[in-house]
Amino acid sequence: MSIESAKDAGFDSFCLVISDYFELPRSIVTSSARLDDDLGLDSLAFLECIVMLEEAAGHELEVDAIATVRTVGELFDFYWQFVGSTIDPGTP
Amino acid sequence: MRVIDLIMDRAARLGGEPAIITQATTVSFRDLADAVERTTLAIERIVPTHGAIVVSSDPIDQIVGLLGAMATRRVLYLDPGRIGGANAEFGWSYRFCDGDVAPTGAEAHRWLDSIEGFALVLRTSGTTGEPKFVIHDDRSLAANLILTASVEDELHERGGLHPSAPTDSLQQLADRAPHGLRFLSGMPLSSIAGVSMLMRSIAMGEQFVVPSSLEAHDLWSSAIVLGVTNAGLPPISALRFAGFGRDRLRPRPGFLHVGIGGAFADPSLVAGLENSLECLVTVGYGSTELGGVAIMSRPWDPADERHGTIGRPLRGVEIELRGIEGDGGTELVVKSPSIARGIIQNDELVELDEWFPTGDLADQTESDALVIAGRSDFMILRGGHRIDPARIEAVIERHPLINRAGVTSRPSRIPGNMDIIAYVSLHRTMRSTEVPDEIVTEIRRRCIGELPTHEVPRRFVTVADIPLASDFSVNRAHLRDLVRRNPLADA
């Protein structure tokens, strides 16, 4: 599997996890969806998101770097950058 | 002079003029007075001084039974039709049904011994969900009538009416000519709002319309067919009326004034109703314990005040905003001359304090108008914010397919915070009780668009019916129990 296709599959799993965890329809969890204005996630939900991703990654993430994240796609890129394709997001 | 004397005086003066109007019949003031006199004789013949009468849920029975109990100084309970066989449990020893009085076989309870004269017993659960019986009497009903009538005095800058001088004020009211108004209550006659509007109508020589049911469609059609000029509506009916009114092809009532009360009224709802019905809309605030409305916006107040506040205390009502520990906001505490005589607790009549803590958080604007910020006992804490569930419900209920919404919370995975859970029910006209995913998505978008992000519910749960209190507001205690029994809301 190429890196691109692994990333695509990883993104699909990632969206599924976000959708399940925050009880959102899968159809609205898209790359361009804004975490606040489209999904209605507030700062607390975002914090929960980070905790969930840290649990999935098995180590702490750099919270300062995540502060600029606005969309699902950006959040996934951030996550992918730290965990790469070797880790399946799994379920929390 | 008592309120019943004022009503009978009206009846003698107005004779054949309509007093009570239903879709099936019109009861004139003379007919009403005759029915009250017959009922008075029956009650005096059968019911002892301390007898407690329960009245069926039939509206004409309720009106005649209420006036008969006032005239004979007996204790009366207006049965909202919910407690069925509980007459024995609560000591209602006589029944008034189809114009006849008969024993129920139950024994009168001890609390009745402490009541001399007329008492009206109202059952309420309010937002706390704890059922209780609230006792009103001649004094509190007279004070409520004077409070509501004094608004007209304010308009004309007259100083005559004041609840501190009830006999004189009632005499003044007796001398005032009626305006030919027709009142409709969207609240049941077994509620203080319904009783208050009934008294306001017939004691002032106006007409009281009994709708075919309290469903919004029936209220709307009754208002058109029976020529209603003034209506008092709970917010949920007001919301439906705003929707009906936006349909320009639909016939509409010729309202002069609509008052909204009984629960939180969203400012956009008040403005929307005013626009769609093209009549004045005001908001009233009160409770069963306070004997009806105690605070209200006035018809002549600026639009932003009428839409965004509950107005100011009526003449003779005082308020305080008392701080709650730990920056919990300020609670509205009200001193009203129409406060109930007491409540029944453990078979005893317990008097209420002069200053009544409402349990509602409130703030005051620069012009001294009051803004309700939610219930102190049901606020949702999230991200350092105190969130009023009623505001979220108001946004969800604006979706045309949603019948009712009830918002509550469950502990968040972030300690010290709560996640917001919205229970929703579809209109009965929908064939399914299950809310389709696309509708949930629409509601979520609506919430995202109209609410701060921290107020957007985490989860939407479909239920067939939202648990309601007797005044049609959300029964928050019941809703909270639903979540306690099932912390994941539906998992």
- pLDDT at site B149: 92
**Structural domain containing residue B460:** 380-485
Closest partner residue to B454 among A37, A39, A42, by Cβ?
A42
Separation of alpha carbons B289 and B171, rounded Å? 26
Check CB contact under 8 Å for A40 and B444.
Answer: yes
Q: Which of B214-218, B272-276, B378-382, B425-429 has the lowest mean pLDDT?
A: B425-429
Same domain, B296 and B206: yes
Contacts of A25 in chain B (CB under 8 A): 437, 440-441
Check CB contact under 8 Å for B382 and A42.
Answer: yes
The 10s digit of each residue's pLDDT in B74-97 is: 998 887 654 455 555 677 888 898
Check CB contact under 8 Å for A40 and B453.
Answer: yes
Does B462 contact chain A (CB < 8 Å)? no
* Residues B375-380, mean pLDDT to the nearest whole number: 83
- Record the pTM: 0.79
Look at B299 and A87; give whichever has higher pLDDT. B299
Considering only CA atoms, which of B49, B150, B36, B37 is closest in space to residue B94? B49
- Domain assignment of residue B206, yes or no: yes
User: How big is the A-B interface in CB pairs under 8 Å?
Assistant: 41
B103: β partners: B94
Longest Cα–Cα distance of chain B, Å, equals 68
Alpha carbon of B459: minimum distance to chain A alpha carbons (Å): 6
* Residues B115-138, mean pLDDT to the nearest whole number: 82
Considering only CA atoms, which of B304, B64, B93 is closest in space to residue B202? B64
The CATH number covering residue B220 comes to 3.40.50.12780
State how many domains chain B has: 2
- pLDDT at site A89: 46
Strand order in the sheet with B318-323: B318-323, B330-335, B355-364, B370-375
Contacts of A41 in chain B (CB under 8 A): 453
Confidence of residue B301 (pLDDT cuts 50, 70, 90): very high
Contacts of B456 in chain A (CB under 8 A): 40, 42
Separation of alpha carbons A34 and A45, rounded Å? 13
- pLDDT at site B82: 46
Separation of alpha carbons B74 and B447, rounded Å? 51
Contact between A10 and A85 (Cβ < 8 Å): yes
Contact between B420 and B382 (Cβ < 8 Å): yes
The 10s digit of each residue's pLDDT in B306-339 is: 999 999 999 999 999 998 876 667 899 999 999 9
Contacts of A27 in chain B (CB under 8 A): 441
Same domain, B315 and B399: no
- pLDDT at site B283: 94
Helix (H) or strand (E) holding B292: strand B292-296
Same domain, B396 and B252: no
Q: Residue B365: is its pLDDT beyond 90?
A: yes
Contact between B268 and B449 (Cβ < 8 Å): no
Helix (H) or strand (E) holding B366: none
Separation of alpha carbons B273 and B267, rounded Å? 10
Sequence-separated contacts (24+) of B159-162 with Cβ below 8 Å: B161/B315, B162/B315, B162/B316
Check CB contact under 8 Å for A42 and B383.
Answer: yes
Closest partner residue to B412 among A38, A40, A44, by Cβ?
A44
Q: Which two tokens stand for residue B467?
A: 């648990």
Check CB contact under 8 Å for A28 and B453.
Answer: no
- Range list of β-strands (E), B125-267: 132-136, 182-185, 207-209, 230-233, 257-260
- Domain assignment of residue B273, yes or no: yes
Going by their DSSP bridges, the two strands B348-351 and B312-313 should be labelled as unpaired
Contacts of B458 in chain A (CB under 8 A): 22-23, 45
* Residues A16-33, mean pLDDT to the nearest whole number: 90
Separation of alpha carbons A22 and A12, rounded Å? 15
Helix (H) or strand (E) holding B370: strand B370-375
Cα-trace Rg, chain B: 22
Amino acid identity of B254?
A: G
Does B435 contact chain A (CB < 8 Å)? no
The CATH number covering residue B432 comes to 3.30.300.30
Look at B438 and A3; give whichever has higher pLDDT. B438
CB atoms within 10 A of CB B322: 12
Q: Which of A28-32, B24-28, B118-122, B259-263 has the lowest mean pLDDT?
A: B259-263
Closest partner residue to A23 among B412, B413, B459, by Cβ?
B459
The 10s digit of each residue's pLDDT in A52-84 is: 877 777 777 776 777 788 999 999 988 887 766
- pLDDT at site B204: 95
Same domain, B316 and B388: no
State ipTM.
0.80
The alpha carbon of B484 is separated from its chain's Cα centroid by a whole number of angstroms, namely 28
- Domain assignment of residue B106, yes or no: no
Check CB contact under 8 Å for B448 and A40.
Answer: yes
Same domain, B312 and B166: yes
At which of B375, B401, B434 does a domain end? B375
The 10s digit of each residue's pLDDT in B147-163 is: 999 998 888 888 788 88
Separation of alpha carbons B360 and A36, rounded Å? 30
Q: How far lies B164's CA from each of B2, B143, B148, B169, B337, in Å? A: 14, 8, 14, 9, 8
Angle value at C-alpha B250, between B247 and B251, nearest 5 degrees:
135
- pLDDT at site B81: 56
At which of B375, B409, B429 does a domain end? B375
Same domain, B324 and B434: no
- Domain assignment of residue B63, yes or no: no
Q: Domains in chain A and their CATH numbers?
A: 3-83 (1.10.1200.10)
Contacts of B437 in chain A (CB under 8 A): 25
Interface of chain A toward chain B, CB-CB under 8 angstroms: 22-25, 27-28, 36-45, 47-48, 51
The 10s digit of each residue's pLDDT in B202-220 is: 999 999 999 999 989 999 9
Same domain, B289 and B429: no
Q: Residue B298: is its pLDDT beyond 90?
A: yes
User: Taking phi first (over 0 means left), then psi (-120 to 50 degrees means alpha), and beta for anything else, what does residue B409 get?
Assistant: beta
- pLDDT at site B163: 87
